[in-house]
């Protein structure tokens, strides 16, 4: 598995298994077991996914050594304060049944992100977290955070897919020493992504699926990819992307698909911010 080196030297497997929307506890546990047995070593969860406990059971049941694994979780908005991070992180750690987390992210750029960031720096200094980062932050907000604190975020987990490519943002983050990580790389299949003729034609050249083409396109940009599925055969398929490479012609064709807009919602929409802020988690 190819890895990406973060700005503090920590190595991250470039292809991770995402657990968003796997809310049934047994399905979440089984999916993590299957993913690890298929070859995934990077597992991504979050407080707001409400599946940390099941993910933790899956990690334990899969039997891989802890040192082999890279585990990410995220602090939800209602816990994004100095004390909220410290208290909720310990609960996340207990639910996951782990002694440390490899990557801890602020899930959204709202609430007291500065106080929360300083608490995350404390957790990193104590060895409870190996790397800290952010999710859904603009480049400007990421730079602002790093300029007035000791630690530059290692990662910014953002929406990246063929319909919302964010090429400029990826490069701007890279210039600041921040690695981009793609959530929703398949745009949850919106706008018939899996039937897209451009991607299907590229896939046919290499005997690969549309999903495999998308993952390959992202890792060739050194973007960490979180691919989610509950089907073991799809997990194995998603991992089988290291035996081909896209041509410049392929990449130019994929560029034409960019709609330059989120396939879900804008993080600058006041009503969406109010809706997210109103989701108070008892976790």
- Domain CATH code at residue 21: 3.20.20.100
In a domain, 175, yes or no: yes
Binding site for substrate, by residue number, is: 107
Tell me how many domains the chain contains: 1
Domain-embedded: residue 283: no
Tens-digit pLDDT profile for residues 173-183: 999 999 999 99
Q: Positive or negative, the Cα torsion across 252, 257, 259, 265?
A: negative
pLDDT exceeds 90 at position 278? no
Q: Is residue 63 scored above 90 in pLDDT?
A: yes
User: In this structure, what token pair is assigned to residue 166?
Assistant: 């964010």
Is residue 282 assigned to a domain? no
Is 49 catalytic? The answer is yes
Domain that holds residue 66: 3-277
Binding region: 107
Is 178 among the domain residues? yes
The pLDDT confidence band at residue 82, using thresholds 50, 70 and 90, is very high
Question: Which of 40, 49, 100, 114 is flagged as catalytic?
Answer: 49
Query: Mapping DSSP to helix (H, G, I), strand (E, B) and coil, where does residue 10 land?
Result: coil
Helices (H), the chain: 25-38, 52-62, 82-96, 113-125, 139-147, 167-175, 197-206, 210-219, 232-239, 248-255, 270-277
What mean pLDDT is reported for the chain?
97
- Residues 121, 115 contacting (CB under 8 angstroms): no
- pTM > 0.85: yes
Judge whether 55 and 94 are in contact, CB under 8 Å.
Answer: no
- Give the CA dihedral 265, 178, 3, 198, nearest 10 degrees: 40
């Amino acid at each position: 598995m190819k890895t990406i080196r973060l700005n503090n030297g920590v190595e991250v497997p470039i292809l991770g298994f995402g657990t968003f929307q796997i809310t049934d506890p047994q399905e979440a546990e089984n999916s993590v077991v299957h993913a690890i047995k298929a070859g995934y070593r990077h597992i991504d969860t979050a407080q707001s996914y409400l599946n940390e406990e099941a993910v933790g059971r899956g990690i334990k049941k899969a039997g891989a050594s802890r040192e082999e694994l890279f585990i990410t979780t995220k602090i939800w908005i209602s816990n994004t304060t100095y004390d909220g991070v410290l208290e909720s992180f310990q609960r996340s750690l207990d639910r996951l049944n782990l002694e440390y987390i490899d990557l801890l992210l602020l899930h959204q750029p709202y609430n007291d992100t500065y106080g929360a960031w300083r608490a995350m720096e404390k957790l990193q200094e104590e060895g409870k977290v190996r790397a800290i980062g952010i999710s859904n932050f603009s480049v400007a907000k990421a730079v602002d955070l790093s300029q007035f604190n000791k630690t530059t975020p290692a990662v910014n987990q953002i929406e990246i897919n063929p319909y919302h490519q964010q090429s400029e943002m990826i490069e701007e983050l890279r210039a600041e020493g921040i690695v981009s990580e793609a959530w929703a790389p398949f745009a949850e299949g919106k706008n018939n992504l899996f039937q897209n003729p451009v991607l299907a034609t590229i896939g046919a050249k290499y005997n690969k699926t549309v999903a495999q083409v998308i993952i390959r396109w992202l890792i060739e940009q050194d973007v960490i990819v979180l691919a989610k599925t509950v089907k073991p055969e799809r997990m194995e398929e998603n991992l089988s992307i290291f035996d081909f490479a896209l041509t410049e012609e392929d990449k130019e064709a994929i560029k034409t698909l960019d709609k330059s807009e989120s396939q879900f919602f804008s993080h600058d929409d006041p009503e969406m911010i109010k809706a997210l802020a109103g989701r108070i988690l008892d976790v």
